[in-house]
Amino acid sequence: MTVSDHLNELYGLPAFDFPEAGSEDTLPDPASVAWRITVEAYESDEQWDEAFARFTEVVDPTRVRALIVGAWSDVYDSGPDDVIETLVAARDRLPALRAVFLGDVTFDECEISWMHQTQVAPLLEAFPELTEFGLRGGQDLGFSPVRHERLRSLTIETGGLDAEVVRSVGASDLPALEHLDLWLGVSWYGGTTEVADLAPFLSGERFPRLRHLALRNSEIQDRIANALAGAPVVAGLEVLDLSMGTLGDEGAEALLTGQPLTHLKKLDLHHHFLSEAMRERLTTTLGAAGVEVDISEAETADGDSDGVEGRYTAVSE
């Protein structure tokens, strides 16, 4: 997934764009798709809550299983407070809802680091049966620690993720969590996360059912790799994802000389700054053991520096 593309599915269902007013004649079965509701930012007279009201008039909300929130009308200037209030107010009308993605906005609609978010905990609290929740945008993002019995997948995509959000996720009680995907980003766009903030995810105790861990799109990717080389969580993982960041030979060396990774189904390192020799070592050592190793998108550091300076994440602004 990149910020140039809208989601094409959610909860295993194909995404379907709820049409503009007057075009709702032929619609799919309510339970067969992930419904995307969006309005043209600054160009539509319709607000998001009005589009949602129109949606619930023509689609049976009791059968909707997945909902994708696209752009709201002022996505550059304010967060989705009204969107969340609208969904919370409609919770009794959405008993089958199992997946929500908040902010399916591409870069041509609003750059990821310019998107405003808000406190999202009320949405999780209002829908205790959700199994998947994701969002895009880190500016003004709030995530108070929550307890959620059913949530299996959590995704937070940003160009810069505040450490307070990371710590709050780590302090949450999510006993069913299997899939965690955090885009940590860069300091220029508010990414303040340090390795110490990741301790709850690395220990293997806080989220014992975790099978897919993505700590990616980070400018401290080598340091994260070094921490993972001895982290207890790795032994229980099927997928480890350190892609989209500034990973270099130092981080890859730590992974190769640390605890065994041969039990993994996949090691995703795409968009990296690895030397050809290191790429060969990864392929030989892990690929030969049956691990799918993604080392596509080899990047070259800007300028003449052969250190971390000059490296860049896949997504920042």
**pLDDT at 128 > cutoff 50:** yes
pTM above 0.85, yes or no: yes
The model's pLDDT over 68-106, given as tens digits with 9 standing for 90+, comes to: 999 998 888 899 999 999 999 999 999 999 999 999 999
Q: How many CB atoms lie within 10 A of CB 266?
A: 15
The model's pLDDT over 29-57, given as tens digits with 9 standing for 90+, comes to: 999 999 999 998 666 678 999 999 999 99
**pLDDT at 113 > cutoff 60:** yes
